[in-house]
Amino acid sequence: MEQPIFSTRAHVFQIDPTTKKNWVPTSKHAVTVSYFYDSTRNVYRIISLDGSKAIINSTITPNMTFTKTSQKFGQWADSRANTVYGLGFSSENNLLKFAEKFAEFKEAARLAKEKSQEKMELTSTPSQESATGDLQSPLTPESINGTDDERGTTPETPQYLPEPRAEPSQNQLPFSHSSSSINKHWEAELAALKGNNAKLTAALLESTANVKQWKQQLAAYQEEAERLHTRVTELECVSGQMTVIKSQKTELNQTIEELESALKSKEEELERLKEEVESANEFQTQKESLTQKLQETEERNQTLEAQLVELEQRLEGSQLEREAFRKSLRTLLELLDGKIFELTELRDSLARLIEGSSS
């Protein structure tokens, strides 16, 4: 089971596989980069996910080196992945912390590898000795021809027999018959040993072929197990980061809600501004209409002023004429009054005359 032991955030890059010079960004924004420790395999790995995609899956080995190329950028080469990873940090402090952890886990990986090799040597040495002894035992010279003691006593030829003494011929016949039967016996034993040796050789060759086949199958099983373990690790990493993803999702949902609320308020404000613009356009139209009416009114006012000036002039002339007419009428009244007074006096005189004549 892998557990994250250190995490930071950085922009992830990979070297361009064609040019081997330019950096290609593998994430659009800063992502979480974590160190993971697998207690079952005793290995350290650097893993980073962009959503559900693993953009970094690098196992730390003792021959790896993390190089600081600038104040906020570092890189390391992964021969297994056949690429070079680069990380861009937000500050130099984050870069230094990541580099310290890299060196620490690199040393831990070296010690773990040495311990693993020691355990493998201790466990493999006895089994190798026993297997070697079992496999080689059928092909040793002793198994075919016997030990040195057995070879010394093996009567392959009759030269090891003592020379017969001069005895009657009747004793020589049983001796030659006994020697011939012994030779046939050992020849049969030798043929049986050769047959057993051939069978053991064929069995050894078959075992060797089976061992090669088993090794190939074991390598295939190990490769499949490594692939499945990598997949399980990625899934565990995804599940381990689900909490972080959920919290980020909650924050993003809150941010989206805030942005939607702000957008809604902006849309309402925009609608209000549109209404104000429409009202302003109406006011502008009314203003133009009123301006035109005002111009027409001013023109009419000027015309009326001109007419008023003319009427005033005519009125003034009329007043002068009326004053002259009044003066003429007053003079006429005065003359009329004088004439009436004279007529009155004349009437009175005529009346007196008439009265005087009648008396």
DSSP per-residue codes, 221-258: HHHHHHHHHHHHHHHHHHHHTHHHHHHHHHHHHHHHHH
**Burial code of 51-80, b = ≥16 C-beta within 10 A, e = fewer?**
eeebbbbbbbeeebebeeeeebbbbbbbee
> Do 89 and 102 contact (CB within 8 A), yes or no?
no
- The encoded tokens of residue 140 equal 């040793």
> What is the signed CA dihedral for 112, 117, 119, 125, rounded to 10 degrees?
180
Give 272 or 213, the one with higher predicted confidence: 272
Give 151 or 20, the one with higher predicted confidence: 20
Q: What is the mean pLDDT of the chain?
A: 78
Q: What is the pLDDT of residue 34?
A: 94
Has residue 241 got a pLDDT over 80? no
Give 212 or 151, the one with higher predicted confidence: 212
Confidence of residue 118 (pLDDT cuts 50, 70, 90): confident
Confidence of residue 21 (pLDDT cuts 50, 70, 90): confident
Which stretch of 70-74, 129-133, 225-229, 257-261 has the lowest confidence by average pLDDT?
129-133
Q: What is the pLDDT of residue 152?
A: 38
pLDDT in tens, 85-111: 999 999 999 999 999 999 999 998 888
pLDDT in tens, 285-331: 888 888 889 889 889 889 999 999 999 898 988 889 888 998 988 89
Has residue 348 got a pLDDT over 60? yes
Q: What is the pLDDT of residue 125?
A: 52
The CA-atom distances, in angstroms, between 189 and each of 38, 46, 115, 259 are 61, 67, 52, 99
- Average of per-residue pLDDT across 65-80: 92
Has residue 335 got a pLDDT over 80? yes
Confidence of residue 236 (pLDDT cuts 50, 70, 90): low
Q: What CA–CA distance (Å, rounded) separates 205 from 136?
A: 12
Confidence of residue 359 (pLDDT cuts 50, 70, 90): low
Closest-CA residue to 233 (of 49, 82, 14): 49
Q: pTM of the entire structure?
A: 0.38
Confidence of residue 65 (pLDDT cuts 50, 70, 90): very high
